[in-house]
């Protein structure tokens, strides 16, 4: 596409891309969750495989039918460790509700896994997962930033994303989870 003026063809510059629209879940991006991003266009979570506590291969498809709070963290990441008690509190708030999973996934390399496993053990009821290839942080909108928390709906779609530390123990986080639980399946 071009504009012609006195015989000269001037190419038109396409408009700058607009930021993606937010979904109705953006109403939960307040207080402790102010940095929460809630894209209007939802995509299915990556099919990338990681490891469970027993070292078995697992993916997000294993959690289908549940609301999943995926937290990507590492022992070398101070904000990651600082927010872990709040994720444990969120998991405890939904203890007994098999429709909600809080899944912290360590991206520590194999030599740091024992320390990461011990750290998670101190934050019950959180389970231990590990991505020994440190690839998951690059699969989501945060593109490598740490910590990253991704919230999946019961269909396994990314509905919210937060890069950086946050307080997941507060009413804002529970309201987001409850809203996703209230959605029809």
Give the pLDDT confidence of 11-67 residue by residue, as tens digits. Answer: 555 554 444 578 899 999 999 899 999 999 999 999 999 999 999 999 999 999 999
Structure confidence at residue 119 (pLDDT) = 98
Q: Are 35 and 29 in contact (CB under 8 A)?
A: yes
Judged on CB neighbours under 10 Å (0-12, 13-18, 19+), 16 is: exposed
- Of 183, 185, 147, nearest to 168 by C-alpha is 147
| % of the chain at pLDDT higher than 90 | 81
Structure confidence at residue 7 (pLDDT) = 55
For residue 2, what pLDDT band results from cuts at 50, 70 and 90?
Answer: very low
Structure confidence at residue 18 (pLDDT) = 47
Judged on CB neighbours under 10 Å (0-12, 13-18, 19+), 134 is: middle
Domains and CATH numbers, the chain: 18-182 (3.40.30.10)
For residue 9, what pLDDT band results from cuts at 50, 70 and 90?
Answer: low
The DSSP output letter for 168 is T
| % of the chain at pLDDT higher than 70 | 89
| pLDDT per residue as tens digits for the range 54-100 | 999 999 999 999 999 999 999 999 999 999 999 999 999 999 999 99
Main-chain dihedrals φ then ψ at residue 82, nearest 5 degrees: -65, -35
For residue 127, what pLDDT band results from cuts at 50, 70 and 90?
Answer: very high
Residue 80: enclosing H or E segment and its boundaries?
Answer: helix 78-93
Omega of the bond leading into 177 within 30 degrees of 0 (cis)? no
User: Of 11-25, 103-117, 134-148, which gets the smallest average pLDDT?
Assistant: 11-25
| Bridge-based pairing state of the strands 157-163 and 148-152 | antiparallel
Opening angle at CA 53, ends 155 and 37, nearest 5: 40
Q: Between the CA atoms of 27, 31, 142 and 115, what dihedral angle is there, to the nearest 10 degrees?
A: -130
Q: Where are the alpha helices (DSSP H) in 25-70?
A: none
């Amino acid at each position: 596409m071009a504009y012609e003026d006195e015989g000269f063809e001037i190419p038109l510059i396409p408009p700058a891309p607009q930021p993606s629209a937010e979904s109705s879940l953006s109403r939960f991006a307040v207080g402790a969750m102010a940095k929460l991003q809630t894209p209007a266009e939802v995509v299915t979570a990556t099919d990338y495989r990681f490891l469970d506590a027993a070292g078995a291969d697992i993916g997000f498809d294993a959690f289908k039918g549940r609301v999943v709070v995926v937290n990507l963290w590492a022992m070398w990441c101070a904000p990651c460790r600082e927010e872990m008690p709040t994720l444990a509190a969120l998991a405890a708030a939904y203890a007994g509700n098999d429709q909600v999973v809080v899944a912290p996934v360590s991206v520590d390399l194999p030599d740091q896994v024992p320390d990461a496993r011990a750290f998670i053990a101190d934050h019950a009821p959180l389970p231990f997962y590990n991505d020994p290839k440190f690839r998951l942080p690059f699969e989501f909108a945060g593109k490598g930033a740490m910590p990253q928390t991704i919230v999946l709906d019961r269909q396994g779609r990314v509905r919210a994303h937060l890069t950086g530390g946050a307080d997941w123990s507060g009413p804002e986080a529970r309201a987001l989870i409850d809203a996703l639980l209230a959605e029809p399946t």
